[in-house]
Structure 1
Amino acid sequence: MTLIRDFAVIFVCLLMGKAIAAVLPFAFPASIIGLLLLFALLSSNLVRLEWVQAGGQLILRHMALLFIPVAAGLLSYADVLSKGLGFILLAAVTGLVLILLAVGWLYQRLAS
């Protein structure tokens, strides 16, 4: 019964995120809005952590299964991905280095 409640709270936040995304004048992922809404509700104690903890842990435990369809879909584009593999790796490494530099700089600014 607790899993039903947990999933219901998470699902309602997702639906509210979809409703908000539908009225926004620009494109924004509804799932991100739903997560931000759930975070705001948890932070303000309108939703207690016990109401979503078991369902959230179950979803996180089985998250790897959710990526199998994506990986299978990428296999059908292997030829396209292999042509641009250098650019993909360059973008990933450059992004990683920029993020590490930004976080390090921000940490140094906040620590001093």
Structure 2
Amino acid sequence: MKYLQQFGIILAVSFVGELLNYAIPLSIPASIYGLVLMFVCLCMKWIKLEDVKETAVFLIEIMPLMFIPAAVGLITSWNIIRPKLLAYAAITVISTLLVMLVSGYVTDWMLKGEKKGEDK
């Protein structure tokens, strides 16, 4: 029952993200609204981490399974992808490097801020 309650909370936040996607005319995916909303709810302690942690960990553990339908979609679209494969590969490599670079700098910045807080 605990897992159903935790999953219900996650679904409710995701649903509100979907509603925000329809209400706010920006080209931001509903899942991003949901993630930001969940982050705000956790930071403001409206939702306690213990109220969603176990189900969230389970969903993260099975995340690779969620990529199987996307991979099958790529395989079935091979005739469309093939002529532009080099462009797709370049975009993938560049965006991956950019994400790694930005993530590293943000992590570094947060760790430095954490150390400054400990020094006070």
Q: 2: CA distance between counterparts of 1:35 and 1:101?
A: 22
Alpha-carbon shift at residue 80 of structure 1 (Å):
2.2
- Provide the residue aligned with 1:7 in structure 2: 7
List runs of 5+ in structure 1 lacking aligned partners.
none
- Provide the residue aligned with 2:50 in structure 1: 50
Alpha-carbon shift at residue 65 of structure 1 (Å):
1.1
- SS of 2:27's partner is coil
Q: 2: CA distance between counterparts of 1:64 and 1:99?
A: 19
- Provide the residue aligned with 2:116 in structure 1: none
With over 3 angstroms needed to count, the CA separation of the structure-2 counterparts of 1:100 and 1:60, relative to structure 1, is: closer
What is the aligned-residue identity percentage? 28
CA RMSD of superposed structures (Å): 2.3
Q: 2: CA distance between counterparts of 1:52 and 1:76?
A: 36
- Provide the residue aligned with 1:41 in structure 2: 41
Q: Which amino acid counterpart does residue 81 of structure 1 have in structure 2?
A: I
List runs of 5+ in structure 2 lacking aligned partners.
113-120
Alpha-carbon shift at residue 85 of structure 1 (Å):
1.3
Of structures 1 and 2, the one scoring higher in RCO (CA 8 A, sep 6+) is: 1
Deviation sequence 1:27-83 (CA, Å, 0-9, x none): 321111011101100011111000000110111111111111111111011122222
Q: Answer with 88-97 or 39-48: which moved more.
A: 88-97
Equivalent pairs counted in the alignment come to 110
TM-score computed with the length of structure 1 as normaliser: 0.82
